[in-house]
Amino acid sequence: MSDKKLIFSGIQPTGTFTLGNYIGAIRNWAPLQEEYNCIYSIVDMHAITVRQDPVKLRQNSLEAYALIMACGIDPEKSIAFIQSHVKTHAELNWILACSTQFGELSRMTQFKDKSAKHADDVNAGLFTYPVLMAADILAYNADLVPVGVDQKQHLELARNIAQRFNQKYGDFFTVPEPYIPKVGAKVMSLQEPTKKMSKSDDNPNACILILDDKDTIIRKFKRAVTDSDMEICYREGKDGINNLMTIYSAVTSKNYEEIEKEFAGKGYGDFKIAVGEAVADHLQPVRDNFTRLINDKAYLKECYTKGAEKALRISQKTVSKVYRKVGFVDAR
Ligand code: TRP
């Protein structure tokens, strides 16, 4: 690999991806390939920290892989792989777990939230989830990690683990930095625009899925909750309209001023349809690419197999050095 900085990011195979996942994360991944060396992983090992149906998990992992490719991840330019295919993640996980404190894991807000939500299955994997995430990142000595706010605490922990290991065993790991995308936007629910857009929302109209068809997308936008005002402008308190403007801006690259001008004197109804159409048109190539890829299982397999081979080659070197550092006897 060249001397460009290295980016690592992972995404869970959750079945469906929302417009929020797309605008907030996946969409930013493809352009990064031009400036950085990028490694992207479908983190199926993280997914099983909550109960999964095995048949669905397998399907979801393949779909997630096809989807990141459909969004422009080029397996020739980047390394894209499925986490469980690369054994070094689990190996490094153990070593790093021994440099992680019970107390710091107990403070992770995501663990607290998830253990409350899945009270019947507070398994040890859920607790040590951030250690595996640190292993993902440190196995490649990534410089930068694009993460949303919900993962900031985990990244901070990964930095602490790296620093602690470096103190114990001598400077070794690169301490990763968060990567904040130039154009980041948080997408809110279409029904309750003070809440984040989430696929687990009970109201299907709250959430746009990347693979929704055009009619569905437009219908959901038509039903989006706004306010009793009339003006299309970005102002405090106009959460619904602000969200629609954020989305429209993200898919058209128009700024708020341009959008306000475009819709001056027009009604919310017209604006909602315009946003729906812009989103549907923007996502059309993603949907087309996805359909092509998911129906070409042989090609997909070739891509993720090669990706895993490349990932293993790099991370194996890291793990071998780590094993020496901690004092394990050479196996060969
Ligand atoms: N925990 C991340 C999430 O749920 C996914 C993830 C796993 C990840 N390993 C990672 C993200 C490494 C960045 C880097 O969003």
Per-block mean pLDDT, blocks of 10 residues, the chain (332 long)? 89 91 90 96 97 97 97 96 98 98 97 94 97 98 91 97 97 95 81 91 93 97 94 94 96 96 95 98 97 97 98 98 97 80
Per residue in 168-193, pLDDT (tens digit) is 999 999 999 999 876 667 899 999 99
Q: How many angstroms from the chain centroid is the CA of residue 95?
A: 25
How many angstroms separate the CA atoms of 41 and 64, rounded?
10
Q: Which of 147, 152, 174 to probe ligand 1 with, by most ligand atoms within 8 A of CB?
A: 147
pLDDT at 184: 64
* 67 in Cβ contact with 17 (< 8 Å): yes
* 278 in Cβ contact with 208 (< 8 Å): no
How many angstroms separate the CA atoms of 331 and 261, rounded?
68
pLDDT at 25: 87
Q: Which of 6, 7, 11, 86 to probe ligand 1 with, by most ligand atoms within 8 A of CB?
A: 11
DSSP helix, strand, coil percent of the chain (3-state; round to 5): 60, 10, 35
pLDDT at 185: 77
* 229 in Cβ contact with 238 (< 8 Å): yes
Ligand 1 cavity residues, CB under 6 Å: 8-12, 43, 46, 133, 136-137, 145, 147, 151, 154
pLDDT at 272: 97
Q: Which residues are catalytic?
A: 114, 196, 199
